[in-house]
Amino acid sequence: MAYSWFKAFHIVGIVVWFAGLFYLVRLFIYHVEANEEPEPARTILKNQYQIMEKRLYNIITNPGMFLTVAMAIGLLTTEPEVLKQGWLHVKLGLVLLLIGYHHYCKRLMKQLAKDECKWSSQQLRALNEAPTVMLVVIVLLAVFKNNLPTDITAWGVVGLVIFMAVTIQLYARKRRLDKEKLTEPVAQQQT
């Protein structure tokens, strides 16, 4: 019975953690893009994003990570023999990378607060895809364990990464063209 409780809350923790990570970097993108706004909107937006980032990180993302890790430890205490399986070693390695990503987001948040962040909004969009790829691989490992169909999975993950990269580039291009269309009439009116 303990295994089921640990597993249920492990899944809840994962959902909360990833929701926080996905939205946090999205806020970073908006924070960076606020620099393109005229004053006083720029300052107002940046202050609001800074508040939202801190709250999201401290109230949702951190607790989600802690719940995920705590419940994973609980799961491992109920089934310690699983620690001998290769798929779990890969999964745990990815989770460590994800924890590093989580803490790197904290670093970016501090840099944004000090106006020292060097990332562009397009670079942040690409960064935002990293947890998606890790989530897909982690879930596949958890479901298939040692029977992961690596040939199909590998190509699926590669395809997913390429698709996300192309989508990011197309979206950034569309936004740039839309912005240019909006500024053209203004520039023509001023001349």
Predicted confidence at residue 67, as pLDDT, reads 98
Predicted confidence at residue 150, as pLDDT, reads 72
pLDDT classification of 190: cutoffs 50, 70, 90: low
CA dist 84 and 146 (Å) reads: 11
Question: What are the sequence ranges of the domains in the chain?
Answer: 1-148
pLDDT classification of 188: cutoffs 50, 70, 90: low
CA dist 138 and 95 (Å) reads: 8
Q: Compute the average pLDDT of residues 100-111.
A: 98
Cis peptide before 63 (omega within 30 of 0): no
Predicted confidence at residue 129, as pLDDT, reads 86
Q: Compute the average pLDDT of residues 84-88.
A: 92
Angstrom CA distances, 24 to 60, 105, 112, stand at 10, 8, 12
Q: Compute the average pLDDT of residues 173-188.
A: 76
On average, the pLDDT of the chain sits at: 90
Predicted confidence at residue 172, as pLDDT, reads 77
CA dist 145 and 154 (Å) reads: 15
Which SS3 state, helix, strand or coil, does residue 102 take? helix
Cβ atoms of 49 and 31 within 8 Å: the answer is yes
Question: Which residues contact residue 137 at a Cβ distance below 8 angstroms, ignoring those fewer than 6 apart?
Answer: 94, 153, 157
* pLDDT tens, residue by residue, 139-180: 988 988 888 777 777 778 778 878 887 887 788 788 878 877
Predicted confidence at residue 182, as pLDDT, reads 80
Q: Check whether 89 is labelled as a binding-site residue.
A: no
Share of the chain above pLDDT 70, in %: 96
Predicted confidence at residue 111, as pLDDT, reads 97
Q: Among all chains, which residue has been given the structure tokens 């990269």?
A: 165
Predicted confidence at residue 189, as pLDDT, reads 66
Return the higher-pLDDT residue of 82 and 152. 82
* pLDDT tens, residue by residue, 22-61: 999 999 999 999 999 999 999 999 999 999 999 999 999 9
Q: Check whether 10 is labelled as a binding-site residue.
A: yes
Predicted confidence at residue 171, as pLDDT, reads 82
* Range list of β-strands (E), 1-102: none
CA dist 57 and 47 (Å) reads: 16
Predicted confidence at residue 8, as pLDDT, reads 97
